[in-house]
Amino acid sequence: MKILLFILALIVLLLLVLLVRTLLLKPDSATTATIEFISGERADTYAKKLATMVQKETISSRFDNDRTKFLEFHQVLVDLFPHTFNTCEKHVFDGSLLLKWPGKSAADPVLLMSHTDVVEAGGDWTHPPFSGEIKDGIIWGRGTVDTKGSLSCIFNAVEELIAEGYVPKSDVYIASSCTEEISGDGAPATVRFLKEKNVHLRFLIDEGGMILSDPIGGVKGTYAMVGVLEKGYGDLKFIAKGKGGHASAPGKNTPIPRLAKFVARIEKKSPFTVSFHPTAKEMFRRFTPNMTFPMKFIFANMWLFEPLLKKVMPSISPTGAAMLQTTMAFTMAKGSDGLNVLPQEASVSANMRFIHHQSTDESIRLVSEIAKEYDLETNIIYKNYPVSVVDYNSEQFKLVEDVIHDIYPGVGVIPYPMTGGTDAKFYQDVCEHCIRFAPLYINNQQYGSIHGIDENIDAKALPQGVDFYKEVIQRL
């Protein structure tokens, strides 16, 4: 009985400690922060420029090497931002653009970047995807969010500073690839040029996270999501071979059932290791004060609940789970060409995103070994590796964080592991601090419209985006 009472007392004490740790975390300013939009002439002017940029269709395709439309888009930029193009050195790499704005010194240059190309725009849109229509203060069209919106803010910032006679302390580069959406050669060509010129960047700011309200379930507040970690990327094909034949007399373990068993195996139990990267821990640490009580209780005491979180995170949030492990998504399948024909060869393809704590090669080896159990061949179509992580304690990150606080008072700044990819991954040889953040506030519908239908952005969000880039440049 004494032992039981002692154990019970320990449990009660532990619960009290956990509860006190939870209650000590009071909600911070992010819960009450509001975005004070800037309306009027500035917003209207920026909206018209962005609309003009959207009206030039710039869909990229792996199957079309004609870059004429991207060169035509450059002329649109020249017409919209004459001071910039009259002042800056211009370089073009098969449709991808690089500008150099000479500063007082060539030391510690920075690069601001946002890609030119957009994805296709199928489906039934409320406003035509390349109309650039402005209605009730909203600009509609493909690229408004991803990423001509931030590109227009970069150009407006530079245009205005040049018009004011401002000369930056260090060289400022503007890069805009026309192949980001297809992981093409635009950014690599730009990097090769910078390496040839012995340019090493103090930091760069590319697309990435944005400013969102209530970014994940159970978290209240408005946050600037700043990407500091980018996973590796891979495309794999798994091939099953058989004898084929008539579908009226099928044998067992023909190609498609073997592939189906393999897919089901991976879906049921992921072979990849789940781990909280320090960046993920910092993200949740900053979110914790503003979580609902059950979540706050768990995340305020990760020292105890981390093993549990590793197991339940996939059921809580697919996005959260993707931040903790390599992911594998089956995207394409191919069987026979006849409805009544057993295939001699069938395949499924998968897209993989490789986490830092489990290497690209190890992740591929794990799934290849499982594929062998079902007599499948593994064909690696493409692979690359996780990129270097930006330290959220670095002076480069702190500069961006300070500017965000000045432009968006009260908004929380969250370093986070990105689940998608950007052109910034190509810049590791010339930059250790690749910050992935587009300084625009978007709502849930606008966030969901990325690569979807009815992409749009509020014109009143643009002035603060311009002010963000101007402030970054002026603080160099």
**So what's the pLDDT on residue 381?**
94
Over residues 46-83, the pLDDT tens digits come to 999 999 999 999 999 988 999 999 999 999 999 999 99
Position 469: which residue type? Y
Q: Which fold has domain 41-222+390-474?
A: Aminopeptidase (3.40.630)
Over residues 415-446, the pLDDT tens digits come to 999 988 999 999 999 999 999 999 999 999 99
Over residues 231-240, the pLDDT tens digits come to 999 999 999 9
Q: How far apart are CA 11 and CA 261, in angstroms?
A: 44
pLDDT of 179 higher than 80: yes
- The domain spans of the chain are 2-28, 41-222+390-474, 232-383
Nearest by Cα to 289 from 16, 66, 30, 91: 30
Over residues 295-325, the pLDDT tens digits come to 999 999 999 999 999 988 877 778 888 999 9
**So what's the pLDDT on residue 180?**
97
- pLDDT category of residue 449 using cuts at 50, 70 and 90: very high
pLDDT of 103 higher than 80: yes
Residues 6 or more apart whose CB falls under 8 angstroms from that of 389 comprise 228, 229, 277, 279, 356
**So what's the pLDDT on residue 56?**
98
Please, which residues bridge with residue 382 across strands? 235
pLDDT of 129 higher than 90: yes
Q: How far apart are CA 442 and CA 446, in angstroms?
A: 6
Taking domain 232-383, whether its CATH number is 3.30.70.360 is answered by yes
Q: How far apart are CA 439 and CA 471, in angstroms?
A: 12
- pLDDT category of residue 2 using cuts at 50, 70 and 90: confident
β-pairing, 170-176 vs 376-383, is unpaired
β-pairing, 345-354 vs 327-334, is antiparallel
Mean pLDDT along residues 180-202: 97
- In whole numbers, what is the pLDDT of the chain averaged over residues? 95
**So what's the pLDDT on residue 1?**
84
- pLDDT category of residue 359 using cuts at 50, 70 and 90: confident
Q: Which letter does DSSP use for residue 118 in this model?
A: B
